[in-house]
Structure 1
Amino acid sequence: MKRAFAVGVATVLLVFGFLITFSVGYFQSQSLNLLEGKNVFRKNGYRPEYHFAVIGQADDTFWKSVREGCLAAASEFQVAVEFNVPRFTNLEEQMRYLDIAIASKVDGIVTHVLDEEKFTPLIDKAVDAGIPVITVEAEAKKSKRNAYVGTNTFNLGREAGKLVLEAMGERANIAIILSDYIDGAVNVPQNLRIAGTKDALENMPGMTIRTFSSSAGFFSAEEVTRRILIDYPEVDAIICTSAKDTISSAQIIVDLNKVGQITLIGYDDAPEILRYIEKGVIYGTVVANPYEIGYESIRSLIEIKKNRMTSTYVDTGAKVVTYDNIGDYTDTLTKNADEEQSEP
């Protein structure tokens, strides 16, 4: 009996220790950017003038690029930036980060908006408290937000549609895989992207479009792609709307030996996506300049703090990468990375 009790106590202590270790590591990673910023300021001999909070989405290649842009602007403008991103897409966690930023009375907030209806009261609360708010990548037009920085999602869809036309001509059976982050919620950016794709194809009666949803899990798009290719054999083109879905769909196309039979249009410029383009698995990808989104969002907050105004809408544009221009595109990425590393 005593032995069983001792084993039970030891098990509880082990689990408790694991949870503490996990939690400490997690929250340390969440505050890493602020600590990095303070170290930079200490080396350069000055104190940050402002402290901004950035609330992103899931920790993927897109948001890592946004983070890099934010930190570059933070270094240039001598401000501290705390970057908070849930490990997985999580509405409640993002809203909690936003509420904490407001309670902490930061000097400005940059936030992604998963659900406009739920985020609007918090955004309004921040602005009413004198904290400027910049929304990025997804809009909250009905809120009191000071500005939006990001790519016009309608144009993202239109560029994807143009790639289908370029690859397929005037006839194609298209499946669009949408990242369904919130069950039952109206995803305005996704709807605008679909509208943009349809706009690019509106004069092509030979085009048909079906939409499918993937959940937040990494492998869900693989399951969706597999189902599309098996249950809808007429589909010959797939458009993805996130980096993770693009990579997952490409892998299934390879696994099912469908390379050359399915035209895949991706999103983002993750290294895996660029490699799939070079191998001919992905026809092309639409890139939304996440680094620029991060940089311009911090710059907009600086303008508000210094001048009490900024542009209410900053369109960071979109780029299209295909096999034909991938060499030039990767050369530009390498050149930009080298220039950033050489800066003092």
Structure 2
Amino acid sequence: MDKKRFVQIIVVITTILFVLSAAQSVRLIVADARHGDEYLSGVRPARYHFMVILPTLEGDFFQNMWGEIREAAEELDVGVELQVPRSTLDLRGGTAELLEIARLSQVDGIALYVTNEDDLMPLINRTDLSGIPVITLESDAPMSRRSSFIGSNSFKLGQEIGRLMQEAQPEGVRAALLKSEYYSDRASQWSIIKYGIIASLTSGEDDRIRAELKSQIGVLNAEEKARQILFLYPEVNVIFCTSLVDTISAANMVAEYRRAGEVRIIGYGYNQDIQQRMDEGYIYGTLVRDPEAIGRSGLQALVGIKTNKYVPSFIYIPGKVKLAANNETD
């Protein structure tokens, strides 16, 4: 066989192999496309895309709220996207930035925990005017154009706190309030809670609020604020805390300085550490919110708004009071 004939045979074989390979590739592509179509036809696209903006995922409260939102989203056939500020040192700026991103992204709705009412109110208004409904979870901006608030009744919450203070110190309440940074900085929501406390305390001549301190994120800061209360306000005999971390930290400080009974804690939240301090007598009672119900109701409210159903401006989610004697009341 001459060289020219050999080259011709090699070319023919190569061509045949190439054609067979191309045919196989086409077959596989068609098969993959068919399987892909079958997969896509079996998955319904989400009806809506909502964004949830929370200040943090630290702690059981926000974790449980988000977990319930995700579960409800699957049941309601909607997509939810969680956003948390990149830095806990700038909750105000971080939350505002995320709200603006959500507006520009044209999501179908936003569930928001308000970290600063003054800063967020104009952004909430702008978002609503852009056709995107905003609902607030637990922390509110009532003067804004938000569509609905889902959470605790602030005035009733304050009244309950005042009642617990009087039960803890029946001979006279000299209270300190330790406000978490997660509460809205503007006066509206916190002032309603405080007004409810004062309304309860007016029934006793010696019942007064003697101090109000703001705690920032973290155990060390909460312990320092609790220590300040014990040393700078020695007349204080009951401390109300607005977060789980603050509650445990304040109880630890009271235990460290052996002032059980002399200073009682009215707390927020519940876990084994709080139960231990309740058993030891440092915490008189704690307010237990229902983050799962708040999260689920919030998502249902957004879906209701998008489907033109009536959604109340306020949807109150009742909590419970857990006392040291393990008595629970609605």
Structure label with greater radius of gyration: 2
Aligned partner of residue 207 in structure 2, secondary structure: strand
- The aligned counterpart of 1:91 is 92
CA contact (8 A) 2:239 2:264 kept: yes
* Aligned residue in 2 for 1:50: 48
8 Å contact from structure 1 (residues 70, 295) kept in 2: yes
Identity of aligned residues (%): 34
2:260 matches 1:259: yes
Question: 1:308 offset after TM fit, Å?
Answer: 4.5
Structure 2 equivalent of residue 301 of structure 1: 302
Compare 57-66 and 204-213 and name the one that shifted more: 57-66
- Give the TM-score of the pair, scaled to structure 1: 0.77
**Aligned counterpart, 1:318:** 319
Question: What secondary structure does 1:217 align onto?
Answer: coil
After superposition, the C-alpha distances for 1:303-327 in whole angstroms (9 at most, x for unaligned) are 111225312210012211112336x
Structure 1 segment 262-281 matched on structure 2, within 5 A: 262-281=263-282
Deviation at 1:263, TM superposition (A): 0.8
Residue 35 of structure 1 is matched in structure 2 by: none
Mapped partners of 1:125, 1:53: distance in 2: 16
Deviation at 1:141, TM superposition (A): 2.2
Cα 1:98/1:75, change in 2 over 3 Å: same
CA distance 1:182–1:194, change in 2 (3 Å) = closer
Q: Which amino acid aligns with 2:230?
A: L
Q: Distance in 1 between matches of 2:275 and 2:299?
A: 28
Residue aligning to 2:29: none
User: Quick check: 2:201–2:208 contact (8 Å CA) kept in 1?
Assistant: no
Do the aligned residues in 2 keep the contact of 1:212 with 1:224 (CA within 8 Å)? no
Residue in structure 2 matched with residue 222 of structure 1 by the alignment? 223
- Structure 1 distance, partners of 2:80, 2:260, is 43
CA contact (8 A) 1:180 1:213 kept: no
> Which stretches in structure 2 are left out of the alignment for 5+ residues?
1-38
- Cα RMSD of the aligned pairs, angstroms, is 2.4
Equivalent residue, structure 1, for 2:161 = 160
Counterpart-to-counterpart distance in 1, 2:271 and 2:188: 24
Residue matched to 2:68: 69
Are the structure 2 counterparts of residues 190 and 141 from structure 1 closer, same or farther at C-alpha, using a change threshold of 3 Å? closer
Letter in 1 for 2:46: P
Residue 150 of structure 1: how far off its partner (Å): 0.9
Task: Please tell me whether residue 121 in structure 1 is matched to residue 136 in structure 2.
Answer: no
Q: What's the CA shift for 1:120?
A: 1.8
Q: CA deviation at 1:123?
A: 1.2
Which residue matches 1:31?
none
CA distance in 2, matches of 1:267, 1:204: 24
**What's the offset of the Cα at 1:149?**
0.8
Q: In the TM superposition, what is the alpha-carbon distance from 1:272 to its structure 2 partner?
A: 2.8
Q: CA deviation at 1:69?
A: 2.3
- Shift of residue 199, structure 1, vs aligned partner: 0.9
Is the 2:181–2:217 contact (alpha carbons within 8 Å) kept by the matching residues of 1? no
Q: Distance in 1 between matches of 2:282 and 2:68?
A: 30
Deviation at 1:270, TM superposition (A): 3.8
**Post-superposition CA distance 1:217-249 (Å, at most 9, x none):** 312221121122123222211111122211211
SS in 2 for 1:123: helix
Q: How does 1:154-193 map to 2 (within 5 A)?
A: 154-180=155-181, 185-193=185-193
Shift of 1:265: 0.4
Q: 1:65 Cα deviation (Å)?
A: 2.1
Hey, what's the Cα distance between the residues in 2 that align with 1:214 and 1:127? 31
Q: Give CA-to-partner distance per residue, 1:152-175, whole Å, 9 cap, x none.
A: 122222111111122221412211
Unmatched runs of 5 consecutive residues or more in structure 1: 1-40, 330-344
User: Which secondary structure does the structure 1 equivalent of 2:202 belong to?
Assistant: coil
**One-letter amino acid matched to 1:79:** V
For each residue in 1:4-47, what CA deviation from the matched residue of structure 2 results, as whole angstroms up to 9, or x when unmatched? Answer: xxxxxxxxxxxxxxxxxxxxxxxxxxxxxxxxxxxxx99x9443
Distance 1:101 1:213, change over 3 A: same
TM-superposed CA distance for 1:103, in Å, is 1.2
> In 2, Cα distance between the equivalents of 1:216 and 1:227?
14
The structure-2 alpha-carbon separation of the partners of 1:304 and 1:252, relative to structure 1 and needing over 3 Å to count, comes to same
> CA–CA distance in 1 between the matches of 2:47 and 2:305?
14
Change (3 A) 1:287 1:236: same
Cα deviations by residue, 1:90-135 (Å, 9 ceiling, x for unpaired): 1100111111111111111011122223212211222122211101
Q: CA deviation at 1:278?
A: 3.2
2:149 counterpart SS class: strand
Residue 202 of structure 1 corresponds to: 202
Question: Aligned AA for 1:154?
Answer: F
Provide the rounded CA distance (Å) in 1 between the counterparts of 2:94 and 2:310: 30
